[in-house]
Chain A
């Protein structure tokens, strides 16, 4: 139950990250009409971006879990604290509150001009997958980081990291190949212009976090 909740929350948090300056920029960058310039390059860049995002997520959450293990986490106090953080984050997500603390940084724009696009995409993927190197669009990222440390379970950290990386990659690689088409433009415009979509996703994050909080609170130490 706890594993499933955390993986679901990580996936949802990753998807929510697409609504960030970097997430939108990635769609533009990897699109065939964008810097990739052709579909084949675009698809290759999507692959490297996804791999980078998975690696980044794995590094962050796997690393945090290892740190937790090294610190001797996993006790009832740690789990309780993680549950409290998850509840607070769920409340903030449900209300669509502005993220704080916010990481006001973006990936380097120049990479897409100076490097082969698939290579730049891999680097972008890593930075987005790391989660805390660019704008954070969900409180779930902070809460899940806390949970990773509190649980101190490297295998679970890796699973959360992969889920988060997959979440960050999916909207981008799902949209980028079609970004130049009418449908792609409409979808991107809807993402930009309809706050209800983002709010809906954040409420989904909230539900997942609430479930995580329950699972954390009832997990055996």
Chain B
């Protein structure tokens, strides 16, 4: 069998497998595309699964050189062609095609491509025998590609805008005073040293600046006042202001697309800002609606917040109250000082092995008469939080992430309380049974990653 013939058989198999994998990687996008073909929402999930199964099975059959698979692929693709032509005839041009992931659009070119592929598959057995890969192997390879694609989760295109995080949308913000330049829309980007996501977002901010947008970066250490004023939950976070300093959009961002979505949302809201009531009516409190043209959605519902991770954790949930700030704990949930992992008591003092307070050098802390200060209690951080808020809490599940070069265990302090510590509706997170995340903690390992 010639190498050319193998390629002729394997190429459509690869195309079909790519189509299946891209569908598997984007269930929502495929469901949207199917809706455009008239598939009702309740059937979208089974149709999504069936399409993936069908395309990957055909790909495996083609890779195994089965003539029946080639004829079947031709017939199936001819069916797709009919559906596309009907959709085009009903004015569906430009709608999501669903052919290769979310980006493809329905068009005559897309229909022609389907027709070509259908014809290609149908004539394969006439051209000659295909590659005789074992069917089991080709099926296993196709299945693993689809499983891998299904496991891949692309970040949402929009920023995460949560009420209570950052400055209030629609209200004037003192942040405007920090800007040296004027602009129809001004963009404040809050960053932090050592934050890898910030480094990823920064070039996108610079690019927006080069396009004429007034961009100002606020470092967590150097611009503490701005951070406090804006009530920034953590970096990277962006706020868009209008000419008068009114907040148009805000949100947690993880990449350039999400940063651009803040700007798109701000621009789409700007005309309405002249009527503040109308503006607030549109933004509607906790969640703002979809943004400007071209954006899938400029803001994301809090329920989807899992997609946004601060070092892998649900970013919109605040840390548990901790005597020294960042909620670092040991394996028993007791407080440790974040920067060096040394043990601290409930008052935030360093302590020795016996719980006695010590100074940085390890010497006992003493009173004015040189008597050692008495030990203070040392309470698990989650338990102390429950006491402080008067709610039942429990440390439930955890998940490990690679954070700043080391494996970190992210731990949820869970409660049946319907709100998170920052006042938003609570999320399931890593909690069990009917509990949800109240606040978050972490255990730092010494394992490099």
Contact = CB atoms under 8 A, between A and B. Distances in A.
B363 interface: no
Interface residues of B, number: 29
B449 A107 contact: no
A66 B401 contact: no
B151 A133 contact: yes
A110 B306 contact: yes
B144 A135 contact: no
B213 interface: no
Nearest to B309: A109
B195 interface: no
A66 to B, nearest CB: 7
Nearest to A106: B401
Contacts of A109: 306, 399, 430
A126 B151 CA distance: 11
Contacts of A133: 148, 151
B140 A59 contact: yes
A98 B448 contact: yes
A195 to B, nearest CB: 5
Interface string B304-338: 00100000100000000000000000010000000
B277 interface: no
Interface in A122-146: 123, 126-127, 130, 133, 135, 137
A123 B409 CA distance: 22
Interface string A30-70: 00001101000000000000000000000100010010000
B329 to A, nearest CB: 12
Contact of A126 (B147, B312, B397, B400): B147
A109 B443 CA distance: 18
Interface stretch (A20-28, A71-79, A80-88, A208-216): A20-28
Given A108-B153, A185-B331, A35 B446 contact: no
Contacts of B401: 21, 106
Interface stretch (A2-10, A164-172, A186-194): A186-194
Contact of B447 (A19, A35, A104, A107): A19
Nearest to A135: B449
Nearest to A193: B446
A66 B137 contact: yes
A106 B410 CA distance: 14
A195 B137 contact: no
A22 B147 contact: no
20 contacts: A19-B407, A21-B400, A24-B400, A24-B409, A25-B399, A28-B399, A34-B432, A35-B397, A37-B432, A66-B137, A104-B402, A126-B147, A127-B151, A130-B148, A133-B148, A189-B331, A192-B409, A192-B446, A194-B446, A195-B447
Given A21-B400, A25-B400, A66-B137, 12 more contacts: A20-B449, A21-B449, A24-B445, A28-B398, A28-B399, A34-B397, A35-B432, A106-B312, A109-B399, A113-B428, A126-B147, A137-B449
Interface of B: 137, 140-141, 144, 147-148, 151, 153, 306, 312, 331, 397-402, 405, 407, 409, 428, 430, 432, 443, 445-449
